[in-house]
Chain A
Amino acid sequence: LAKTTQPISMDSYEGQEVNITCSHNNIATNDYITWYQQFPSQGPRFIIQGYKTKVTNEVASLFIPADRKSSTLSLPRVSLSDTAVYYCLVAEGSYQLTFGKGTKLSVIP
């Protein structure tokens, strides 16, 4: 299973774009990159998933460079409600998922 490294915490002001980078140097050919969001005392919620290049949905964008050794979750114009922990996962579809400690994003008014 590929190990991921993310910043422990980040601060951002409301209305700014936030980019959270995840490093996964030993990602395997069949691995996908998935991001989850978790609010306090709630279960994680799927945000976005990608394999290469760029993926965008109504919530976020995911940028994956050609070597796939890192990925960046981009949250446009964050609000206070985006304050949460964000997890980066790398997996082929294996059922043994490792969440790690995530990045705690604090949005400041």
Chain B
Amino acid sequence: EAQVTQNPRYLITVTGKKLTVTCSQNMNHEYMSWYRQDPGLGLRQIYYSMNVEVTDKGDVPEGYKVSRKEKRNFPLILESPSPNQTSLYFCASSGRAPTQYFGPGTRLTVL
């Protein structure tokens, strides 16, 4: 089954403790992206990647890092999480933008 998977689905952590949210797709898509969704603000793009080793900033990249060492994986790294990064995170992939396939989401709470 074609899908985008994210792990973990739920995470509660404390300020400053580094964390990684994994994202994997099995559709051989070149393009992958991370979004965050907050009440009243809609979906905002954090980072995107057009191919292996090619990444670029979206609208809200501050406080996040990404890497794209393999085509199928696009992890989101929070080196020092802060409470304002509490949000619902979505990973997406596409073989032909702007038709994107989204993962199930990761709900992150930073205390």
A residues near B (Cβ < 8 Å) are 32, 34, 41-46, 49, 87, 89, 91, 93-102
| Chain A CB within 8 A of B45 CB | yes
Instruction: List the 3 closest A-B pairs by CB distance, nearest first.
Output: A43-B102, A99-B43, A101-B42
The secondary-structure label for the interface of chain B is strand
CB contact under 8 A between A46 and B96, given known A96-B48, A98-B59, A99-B43: no
Partner of B98, one of A32, A43, A45, A101: A32
Which residues from A are CB-within-8-Å of B56? 95
Which residues from A are CB-within-8-Å of B107? 41
The secondary-structure label for the interface of chain A is loop
12 other A-B residue contacts (CB within 8 Å) besides A93-B96, A95-B31, A101-B42 = A32-B98, A34-B99, A43-B105, A44-B100, A49-B99, A87-B43, A95-B56, A97-B33, A97-B100, A98-B45, A99-B44, A101-B40
A85: nearest chain-B partner, CB-CB: B42
B90: nearest chain-A partner, CB-CB: A43
Which residues from B are CB-within-8-Å of A93? 96-98
Inter-chain contact total with CB atoms closer than 8 Å: 62
Bound-complex Cα distance A66 to B4 (A)? 36
| Chain A CB within 8 A of B92 CB | yes
Kindly name the residue among B33, B35, B90, B97 whose own CB sees the greatest number of chain A CB atoms within 10 A: B97
Bound-complex Cα distance A46 to B29 (A)? 16
Chain B, interface size: which category? Answer: 20 to 34
Verify B43–A44 contact, CB threshold 8 A.
yes
Which residues from A are CB-within-8-Å of B40? 101
Verify A41–B42 contact, CB threshold 8 A.
no
Which residues from B are CB-within-8-Å of A43? 4, 90, 92, 102-105
Rounded to whole Å, the gap between the CB of A109 and the closest CB of chain B is: 26
Which residues from A are CB-within-8-Å of B102? 42-45
Verify A96–B59 contact, CB threshold 8 A.
yes
* Per-residue A-contact encoding for B30-58, CB less than 8 Å = 1, 0 else: 01010100001111110010100000101
Rounded to whole Å, the gap between the CB of A23 and the closest CB of chain B is: 17
Verify A100–B42 contact, CB threshold 8 A.
yes
